[in-house]
Amino acid sequence: MIADDATLLGRGISFPPRIGPDGRIAVSSGAANVRESIRVILATDRRERLRLPQFGGDLHRLLFEANTASTRRLIQEAITQALGRWEPRVRVDGVSVTADPTEPRGAVATVRYRLVTTGAADRLDLRLRLGS
């Protein structure tokens, strides 16, 4: 029996939550579910979840910092640590955070990862706006 992506990688309520074409809460599965999970982890502040206060990427604490190499390095470390702790379905190959060439206060975080069960490589780009 060959397992499909949903069996290997999981299935859950889609993020952001929405209603599907059948009128039910939409679900995601496989690689899409992993990608959505990564976004949830990175968008969640620590102490935001009452029963799991250490969960999250805690990136919001850095969003009011200046767009400097030092701040971008802190973002890189926060992403790497959060995904290493909270998303066991991926192995992070690398995280780079660069200044956005089109937005002086912007930064772009690129997360390169592999799905543990299939070895498939993927990447996620996350745009951040820094500074006050």
Three-state secondary-structure class, residue 114: strand
The structure tokens listed for 57 are 């990427």
Contacts of 47 (CB under 8 A, 6+ apart): 53
* Span of 6-10, 20-24, 32-36, 125-129 with lowest mean pLDDT: 6-10
**Is there a contact between 128 and 109 (Cβ–Cβ < 8 Å)?**
yes
Q: Is the pLDDT of residue 120 over 70?
A: yes
Out of 9-23, 36-50, 58-72, 85-99, which region has the weakest mean confidence (pLDDT)?
A: 9-23
> Does 6 have pLDDT greater than 70?
no
Q: In sequence order, what are the beta bridge partners of 115? A: 90
- Range of weakest confidence among 11-15, 48-52, 59-63, 86-90: 11-15
Give pLDDT, residue 114. 97
Once rounded to an integer, what is the mean pLDDT over residues 100-117? Answer: 95
Mean pLDDT along residues 70-94: 97
pLDDT value at position 5? 62
CATH code for the domain in which residue 59 is found: 3.10.450.40
What is the average pLDDT value for the chain, to the nearest integer? Answer: 90
Is the pLDDT score of 8 beyond 70? Answer: no
7 CB-side CA count, 13 A? 4
What's the domain range around 22? 5-129
Those residues with Cβ within 8 angstroms of residue 46's Cβ, 6 or more apart along the chain or in another chain: 53, 54, 55, 56, 58
Stated pTM of the model: 0.85
Task: Take residue 52 and report the two structure tokens written for it.
Answer: 């799991």
SS3 annotation, 14-82: CCCCCECCCCCECEEEHHHHHHHHHHHHHHCCCCCCCCCCCCCCCHHHHCCCCCCHHHHHHHHHHHHHH
CA distance 14 to 2: 25
The number of domains in the chain is 1
